[in-house]
Amino acid sequence: MQSAVEPLRTLASKISSTSSAIGVLSNKDGAVVHDGTQILDRIVNQIASPVRWDLCMETLISLGVTGVIEVAPAGTLVGLIKRAAPSIESFALKSPDDLEAARTFVANHGGM
């Protein structure tokens, strides 16, 4: 995937970015990133880097996260988090039918 990095970097350089009020968890190194330029740079570099799920889990635990929602049909990440961080409750949002339950889940974990 290394060959995809530079073409993606070229495309990303044309995107106007701003800082994010809500941090983005980088799966490259588990860091929480707010700066828009850094977010784009990490996305580009992630193409040729291993996913550091272990560091992401450490960050979630250190931040005191109590719940996570996976927005993908397979539910794979929910299974991983149950094994890696059993203290964090998880919810797999698999279809639009799950939206109301997801809203309740977010509300139960101090979300908006």
DSSP track, 41-87:
HHHHHHTTS---HHHHHHHHHHTT--EEEE-SSS-HHHHHHHHH-TT
At 112 the pLDDT is 61
From the CB of residue 59, how many other CB atoms can be counted at a distance below 10 Å? 18
Strands 67-70 and 24-25 turn out to be unpaired
How does pLDDT run across 11-55, given as a tens digit for each residue? 999 999 999 999 999 999 999 999 999 999 999 999 999 999 999
Please give the DSSP secondary-structure letter assigned to residue 28: T
At 14 the pLDDT is 93
Q: What is the dihedral of CA 48, 53, 55, 56, to 10 degrees?
A: 110
Mean pLDDT of the chain: 91
